[in-house]
Structure 1
Amino acid sequence: MLALIAGTGALPGEVVDHLADRPLICAMEGFTPDSVTADVVFPLEQLGSFIAELKARGVTEICMAGAVRRPAIDPSRIDAATMPLVPVLQKALMSGDDGALRAVIGIFEEAGLAVRAAHEIAPALLPQLGCLTEAQPSEGDLTDADRAAGILRAMGSADIGQACAVSKGQALAVESIFGTDWMLQSLTQRPDAGGGVLFKAPKPDQDRRADLPTIGPGTVSSAVAAGLSGIVIEKGGVIVLQLDRVIDECNRLGLFLCVRERAS
């Protein structure tokens, strides 16, 4: 039996829509999903008891999908089943995003639960290789994508960000803890004539079972507002929500969307 631990955003709903059978939907307290309805809500301070409940219900696999920020832990709420996990949770909360997710995945695996990626159980979330739109990238755009891939590799070594914007070989913006939308918003008042590429890819050594980068129709609108010419993503490494709508929006607004091979 599969349990989906859902965060905010559209991804949990898309995952459920792609499954033949509805999973048990769970959510961490304080992060109510907006695309699915949770059957079980648990506080992080009672993670150990939550895991025990999953196993009692016959859950053998979990999938984590959707956005969750780092919560503050209230020591007074930590129960006996969670107390042994506190050192791991404290370390996770002090780590980068990938480090934190690896720690949480390790907790579930130690409990005997298999952790599966959203794109593993719903492979249609990953688009195929190639340029998917009527607009096509120029040679300069492809060069900018190469440059952006190099920037993300450097950022990834510090466990920071999964996106950047590049124009004429120069970094316009890089993703921080505030996410891609915030990064693109920062470019709406750029002083140049526009152009450039939004590039998204996982961190080089990222555990791809959680927090895979995602784009959707809103990303297209934000890229246009940022004055960019198109979007390039890594094959097998970026989830596209509502793919048909994303392509339609790109065609309507004159953006290109390309899926390229993983940089070596």
Structure 2
Amino acid sequence: MLALIAGTGALPGEVAQRLADKPLICSMAGFAPTSVRTECSFRLEHLGSFLEDLSVRGVTEICMVGAVGRPSIDPSAIDAATMPLVPVIQAALGAGDDGALKAVIKIFEQAGFTVRSAQEVVPELLMEAGVPTRVQPGELDKADALRGAEIVEAMSAADIGQSCAVRARQAIAVENAFGTDWMLDALQKRPDGQGGILFKAPKSTQDRRADLPTIGPATVTMAARAGLSGIVLEAGGVIVLSQDDVIEACNHHGLYLWLRPV
């Protein structure tokens, strides 16, 4: 049986809807999903007890989907089953996103669960390489895409983000802890020209079983409002939600969508 550890955003709902067998929908207190109904909630201070409960329910596989922040911990609320996990939890909360997710995956695996990625349980979340939009990237766009890949690779070493905006081979914005939407909104508020790309790819160091980059129709609208000409995604490395709507939005705004092979 599969349990979805669901966070915020549209991804949990789309994954749950596409699965043939109904999963157990779980969420951490404070980060309840809005795209799907939670059946089982837990506090981080009770993680050990939560994992024991999953085993009793017959869960053998876990898939983490959606965004989850870093909760504060009440030491007095930690239960006995969670106490042995405290050193790993503390290390995870003090690490970057990549390090934190690797620590969480380690906890799940040591408890006997198989951790599966969203794109593994629902392969159609990934689009094939190519350009499905009417507008096609030009040579300057291809140069910007190459520069974007270099920038995200450099960001990976610092574990700080999975996207950037590039114009004329210059980074005009980079993602930080606030995410891609924040980056695009900030870019929109300080317009300094037109053109350029949104480039998005996984960190080269990350475990792809969690936190794979994701876009949806809203991303297209924000990229258009920021004055960008197109969206470039690493093919096989970025989840695209509501794919038909994303393509339609790109065509409506005159943007191209390029699933760029590595």
CA displacement at 1:9 relative to structure 2: 0.5
Classify the secondary structure of the residue corresponding to 1:136. coil
User: Deviation string for 1:124-154 (max 9, x for gaps)?
Assistant: 0000000110011111011001001000000
Give the Cα–Cα distance (whole angstroms) in 1 for the partners of residues 187 and 70 of structure 2: 26
Classify the secondary structure of the residue corresponding to 2:188. coil
The equivalent of 1:123 in structure 2 is 123
User: Deviation string for 1:162-188 (max 9, x for gaps)?
Assistant: 000000011000000000000001111
Aligned pairs, number: 262
The one-letter amino acid paired with 1:106 is K
Classify the secondary structure of the residue corresponding to 2:189. coil
CA displacement at 1:238 relative to structure 2: 0.2
Say whether the 8 Å CA contact 2:6–2:25 is kept in structure 1.
yes
Give the Cα–Cα distance (whole angstroms) in 2 for the partners of residues 158 and 240 of structure 1: 25
The equivalent of 2:209 in structure 1 is 209
CA displacement at 1:191 relative to structure 2: 4.2
The equivalent of 1:36 in structure 2 is 36
The equivalent of 2:233 in structure 1 is 233
TM-score (normalised: structure 1): 0.98
Structure 1 runs not aligned, ≥5 long: none
The equivalent of 2:26 in structure 1 is 26
Give the Cα–Cα distance (whole angstroms) in 2 for the partners of residues 128 and 6 of structure 1: 26
CA displacement at 1:189 relative to structure 2: 3.2
1:72-87 superposed matches below 5 A? 72-87=72-87
Give the Cα–Cα distance (whole angstroms) in 2 for the partners of residues 206 and 221 of structure 1: 28
CA displacement at 1:21 relative to structure 2: 1.2
TM-score (normalised: structure 2): 0.99
Structure 2 runs not aligned, ≥5 long: none
Give the Cα–Cα distance (whole angstroms) in 2 for the partners of residues 189 and 161 of structure 1: 20
Identity over the aligned pairs, expressed in percent?
65
CA displacement at 1:5 relative to structure 2: 0.5
Give the Cα–Cα distance (whole angstroms) in 2 for the partners of residues 145 and 180 of structure 1: 17
Note the aligned Cα RMSD (angstroms): 0.7
CA displacement at 1:253 relative to structure 2: 0.8
Classify the secondary structure of the residue corresponding to 2:158. coil
Classify the secondary structure of the residue corresponding to 1:5. strand
User: Deviation string for 1:171-229 (max 9, x for gaps)?
Assistant: 00000000000000111133433100000000012100000000000000000111000
The equivalent of 2:242 in structure 1 is 242
Runs of 4+ in 1 over 3 A off after TM superposition: none
The one-letter amino acid paired with 1:53 is D
The equivalent of 1:139 in structure 2 is 139
1:180-191 superposed matches below 5 A? 180-191=180-191
Give the Cα–Cα distance (whole angstroms) in 1 for the partners of residues 244 and 76 of structure 2: 48
Give the Cα–Cα distance (whole angstroms) in 2 for the partners of residues 65 and 98 of structure 1: 15
The one-letter amino acid paired with 2:243 is L
CA displacement at 1:87 relative to structure 2: 0.3
User: Deviation string for 1:39-64 (max 9, x for gaps)?
Assistant: 10000000000000000001000000
The one-letter amino acid paired with 1:82 is T
CA displacement at 1:22 relative to structure 2: 1.0
Give the Cα–Cα distance (whole angstroms) in 1 for the partners of residues 13 and 21 of structure 2: 13
The one-letter amino acid paired with 2:169 is G
The one-letter amino acid paired with 2:109 is E
CA displacement at 1:76 relative to structure 2: 1.1
Give the Cα–Cα distance (whole angstroms) in 2 for the partners of residues 70 and 192 of structure 1: 34
The equivalent of 1:156 in structure 2 is 156
CA displacement at 1:155 relative to structure 2: 0.5
